[in-house]
Amino acid sequence: MSLDIKICGVNTPAALEAALAAGADMVGFVSFPKSPRHLEPEAMGALARAVEGRARMVLLTVDASDAQLETLIAAAGPDILQLHGHESPERVAEIRARFARPVMKAISVRTAQDLDVVPAYAAVSDLLLFDAKPDPGALLPGGNGRPFDWDLLRSLDPGRPVMLSGGLDPDNVSQALVRIRVDGIDVSSGVESAPGVKSPEKIAAFVRAARGAPRSGDA
């Protein structure tokens, strides 16, 4: 089974080139002003044009309105919409239908009970991304550099491709891939030298570690 590697929070030409050169399958652009990885539409569009079909471009938004999504989609032409807020299953379905693009819904996880929503979101999403649940009052819904108990996903089968996020870095990504079977992995702060500052060396090391890791369920 192939593995999709997503480098999220790409916000400079140098970070984008590092991700593409390393062989990332997806690059994520963030539209969320509270994030150090936030991009305005014009800057996002310039980076998106530089991707040139070398990877799939993912637009990450947090509880965005239709008007905001229209502006960002027009600017960047994303391949996938990543919804990383409190969007309900109904809202996810509405966005998917309105904008006619694949949707990845992020689900925040701390305990097994957080997975109770999976069937409802699986029914309306193309991909599911599982991230560590932030602490109450945290400014960011993701990109906080914290893992959750990966074993909670061990027996999960939502009938949709699954991506793992939350606290992954070059040192632990192989451990995650050995423990649970996923279709993709997503990293942001784990390949940064400072919040919002991507490290080309860490990006390359992360992709090497992920590509070389044994996979759960492989013979």
Residue 41 domain flag:
yes
Number of domains in the chain: 1
Residue 139 domain flag:
yes
Domain membership of residue 55 as a residue range: 4-212
Residue 50 domain flag:
yes
SS3 string, the chain, reads CCCEEEECCCCCHHHHHHHHHHCCCEEEEEECCCCCCECCHHHHHHHHHHHCCCCEEEEEECCCCHHHHHHHHHHHCCCEEEECCCCCHHHHHHHHHHHCCCEEEEEEECCHHHHHHHHHHHCCCCEEEEEECCCCCCCCCCCCCCCCCHHHHCCCCCCCCEEECCCCCCCCHHHHHHHCCCCEEEECHHHEEECCEECHHHHHHHHHHHHHCCCCCCC
Task: For the full predicted model, state whether its pTM sits above 0.75.
Answer: yes
Residue 217 domain flag:
no
Residue 87 domain flag:
yes
Q: What is the pLDDT along the chain (219 residues), one digit of tens a residue?
A: 689 999 999 999 999 999 999 999 999 999 999 999 999 999 999 999 999 889 999 999 999 999 999 999 999 999 999 999 999 999 999 999 999 999 999 999 999 999 999 999 999 999 999 999 876 655 566 555 678 999 999 999 999 999 999 999 999 999 999 999 999 999 999 999 999 999 999 999 999 999 998 877 654
Residue 218 domain flag:
no
Residue 38 domain flag:
yes
CATH for 92: 3.20.20.70
